């Protein structure tokens, strides 16, 4: 069974204080690893897809990296508007469904 | 495209009543997913469809839950009878085939009292 574990559950940072969120996963064969952002009262919003170990993707202050066992979402010099819950999910080869972690709730303090 | 559209946004009902949640996927997407989100368990897949056909309903909690997709532009998730433990946010999402990720709707917040 595919499993995704995210840590920490919650993270509070000062504005400009860089950090990383962790996503550990087990999957029978990785088709893709996904990062989503979710704001309160809204549905998850797609950020990145990573397909193979060593791959990196960037968007503004966010950079996602992937190894064979985990993914990191690095946030550089965050701003208050980066406050949200960040969700990680995996998709197995031959399957269309995503298995999600429970998320990291990120709060950036001005 | 207006994205994935869900209705209602909020639903408050009494225990034992029937509840129907609705979803309109993005035009051209051939996969539709129903997820439930709670604080304790996060996002859990309930059921998904491919070209209107249910593919995997192993996440449907029990017989009180049923889902249909009568055509490519509409799906329903029904709970009958509803119970307080069904209180959660229910999301619908749609996608194309392949590792492209989903587009989620805004969700329906269900409260059963």
Mean pLDDT of chain A: 96
Residue B98 has pLDDT above 80, yes or no: no
| CA–CA distance, A103 with A88 (Å, rounded to integer) | 7
Comparing A32-36, B1-5, B97-101, which segment has the lowest mean pLDDT? Answer: B97-101
Closest residue in A to B109 (Cα) is A41
Residues 30-49 of B with CB under 8 A from A: 31, 33, 35, 41-43, 45, 48
Cβ separation A43–B93 shorter than 8 A = yes
The percentage of residues in chain A with a pLDDT greater than 90, rounded to a whole number, is 95
Over residues A49-78, the mean pLDDT reads 96
With a CB cutoff of 8 Å and minimum separation 6, the contacts of A34 are A46, A47, A48, A49, A50, A88, A89, A90, A91, A98, B101
Residue B1 has pLDDT above 80, yes or no: no
CA distance B2 to chain A (A): 14
What domains sit in chain A, N to C, each tagged with a CATH number?
3-93 (2.60.40.10)
Tell the residue number behind the tokens 């055509």, with chain if given: B71
Q: What is the pLDDT at residue B26?
A: 95
pLDDT band for position B2 (50/70/90)? confident
- Residues, chain A: 110
- B83-111 in b/e form (b: 16+ CB < 10 A) is eeebbbbbbbbbbeeebebbbbbbbbbbe
Task: Check: CB of residue A38 under 8 Å from CB of residue A47.
Answer: no
Mean pLDDT of chain B: 94
Cβ separation B91–A34 shorter than 8 A = no
| CA–CA distance, B113 with B107 (Å, rounded to integer) | 19
């Amino acid at each position: 069974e595919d499993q995704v574990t995210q840590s920490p559950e919650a993270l509070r940072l000062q504005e400009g204080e860089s950090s990383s969120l962790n996503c550990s996963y087990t999957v029978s064969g990785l088709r893709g690893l996904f990062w989503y952002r979710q704001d309160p009262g809204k549905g998850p919003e797609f950020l990145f897809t990573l397909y193979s170990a060593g791959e990196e993707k960037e968007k503004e202050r966010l950079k996602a990296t992937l190894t064979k066992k985990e993914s990191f979402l690095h946030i550089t010099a965050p701003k208050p508007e980066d406050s949200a819950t960040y969700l990680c999910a995996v998709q197995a080869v031959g399957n269309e469904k995503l298995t999600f972690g429970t998320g990291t709730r990120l709060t950036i303090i001005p | 495209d207006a994205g994935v559209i869900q209705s209602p946004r909020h639903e408050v009902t009494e225990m034992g009543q029937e509840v129907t949640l609705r979803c309109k996927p993005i035009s051209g997407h051939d996969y539709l997913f129903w997820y439930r989100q709670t604080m304790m368990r996060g996002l859990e897949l309930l059921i998904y469809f491919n070209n209107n056909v249910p593919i995997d309903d192993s996440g449907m909690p029990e017989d009180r839950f049923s889902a249909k997709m009568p055509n490519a532009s509409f799906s329903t998730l029904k709970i009958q009878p509803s119970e307080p433990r069904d209180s959660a946010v229910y999301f619908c999402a749609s996608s194309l085939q392949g590792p492209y990720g989903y587009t989620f709707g805004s969700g329906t917040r269900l409260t059963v009292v």
